Copies of this chain bind each other. A is one copy, B any other.
């Protein structure tokens, strides 16, 4: 388990570097009989794609995915699903100067130390380009969860740098460049990011992700609790620094009377738990916040060292996002979908005989 496989029963094994011939992966454990074609994966890939607005990297790629196996006559067969996306716009020349130096905030230093060798072009394996494969695999999971269990997964940005973004209208999310659930904020956010970019700087963001119409009973105590696996999934995304379930860090200052969600015959009265009790889904919405750090690559001189240990000044030029987290919205959704489908399969393996008599509609 060298870290490139995610999940236990519905697994994604990922490969590929930013500037190698291709990225791709293998999805194993997908139940048979799901209608699936490349078009089903392309939608989320396009949402994540670079070059879609001036606020994300201008690298132009089609991110065109090919399904290599596991689908026959339009349906999944239970066999592993091979996925590949060829890298097209590689411009390796841009990156040759970082061969000998370590960019601050990047993984250059740690990859070099860990492996004694690194593909330095565009960050190599540590590039966020790898997440395209997760989005593709996540799209399979989302489709199955939606079709079989009517589960909906949706995410939006709720904080961009200093700007708080309220959730007023989920339908707005996919029609603005910031995945904001409030159209009235869009202009302000655009102006804000323009300023950040003109200052040759970057900011972080916070993403909120929710699963609606959740089945009860997902999560394997004690170490593979649903919240533990969600935390791992989110923290495995590039640039994440924090994860909260439900009321998260706010819980610290809450009183017991305030936090513990009371139950009525109609359902839970509040959702401080974020839909998870004792590591098991309660049927309420799963609610998660994820913190992303500001883009590390900024076009300003920053202090660093080279491989020989000499001090250098380096500035990162080239195509980069002023806020990496903008494109992370479909990635966050994908990772949640991968966790949920895995736990559906795990739960029914052990508990197929259990009939769940939820005493109320949520």
Contacts and interface: CB of A to CB of B under 8 A. Distances in A.
A291 B247 CA distance: 10
Contacts of A23: 69, 82
A5 B356 CA distance: 26
Interface string A213-251: 000110111111101111111111010111111111101
Nearest to A248: B242
Please give the count of copies of this chain that the complex contains: 4
Nearest to A131: B222
Interface in A232-281: 232-236, 238, 240-249, 251-265, 269, 272-274, 276-281
Nearest to A282: B110
Contacts of A234: 231
A256 B68 contact: no
A148 to B, nearest CB: 8
Contact of A5 (B20, B28, B242): B28
A61 to B, nearest CB: 16
A107 interface: yes
Given A234-B231, A292-B251, A1 B6 contact: no
A245 to B, nearest CB: 5
Contacts of A161: 252-253, 255
